[in-house]
């Protein structure tokens, strides 16, 4: 399974990254090296092996639904790059025709 430059651009778009032509070439080579190394796992027979997503088993952790004090609006917006009327402000999502 080898990865092409077009695949790298596609993955970058999914990850919301913009790549220069040079970066795309570099990542294509490096990702191929890493993925080729990862192919080593194909030597393993994992037919009846269960996947581990969490190493120390914990079941659903519940808490009682109580009202507690939390961050004030001012504190919550403290790091916002742009804000207005208590909201985080961003450029328009839908552009005017």
Positions in the binding site for another protein (CB under 8 A): 1, 3, 7-8, 11-12, 14-19, 23, 27, 30-31, 33-35, 37-38, 40-44, 46, 49-56, 58, 61, 63, 71, 75-76, 78-82, 88, 90-93, 95
Give the ranges where the chain is alpha helix by DSSP (H): 5-14, 21-38, 73-76
Residue with smaller CB distance to another protein, 21 or 54? 54
Residue with smaller CB distance to another protein, 21 or 37? 37
Q: At what angle do helices 5-14 and 21-38 cross, to 10 degrees?
A: 100
């Amino acid at each position: 399974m080898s990865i092409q430059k077009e695949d790298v651009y596609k993955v970058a778009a999914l990850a919301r990254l913009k790549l220069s032509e040079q970066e795309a070439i570099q990542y294509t080579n490096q990702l191929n090296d890493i993925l080729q190394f990862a192919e080593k796992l194909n030597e393993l027979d994992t037919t009846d092996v269960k996947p581990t997503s969490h190493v120390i088993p914990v079941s659903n952790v519940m808490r009682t639904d109580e009202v507690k004090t939390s961050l004030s609006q001012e504190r919550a917006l403290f790091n916002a790059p742009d804000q207005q009327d208590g909201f985080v402000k961003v450029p328009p999502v839908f552009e005017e025709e």
